[in-house]
Amino acid sequence: MVMESDEGTFTPTGLAFTGSLKARCIMKEIMKHLKPLNITSVFEDGGGTDISYWIHEGIPGASLSNDITKYFWFHHSQGDTMTVQDPVKMNLCAALWTVVSYVIADMEEKVPV
């Protein structure tokens, strides 16, 4: 499985996912672990510039889904620095990736294609 986070660290809403129906069901189960943080959604189209090649070859892929309404206020600008990060939102994004990565790495089998 491939994953990327390339749209900032704003309030996370879940994961965008591309993969088989069986893999999507697994991702939905994994995301239930994030219920205490209210980040449980699994959306369509988990592609992204950095992982699209693998997804196109049939590898399941996920990308962070978050509120990107302010993304272009900072993206590739002088304000695109760590000093403008909201530590709470950044920690929520990190928590999402930590849970998803840990559970996937701990699975007995790979995420199905």
Confidence (pTM)? 0.89
Spatial CB neighbours of 109, under 8 Å, sequence gap ≥ 6: none
- Return the domain boundaries, the chain: 2-106
10-to-13, 84, 94 alpha-carbon distances in Å = 9, 11, 11
Query: What pLDDT shows up at residue 9?
Result: 85
Query: What pLDDT shows up at residue 100?
Result: 97
pLDDT at 85 over 90: no
Query: What pLDDT shows up at residue 8?
Result: 83
Q: Quick count: other Cβ atoms within 10 Å of Cβ 31?
A: 21
pLDDT at 76 over 80: no
Compute the distance between CA of residue 60 and CA of residue 79 in angstroms, rounded to an integer: 33
Query: What pLDDT shows up at residue 106?
Result: 97
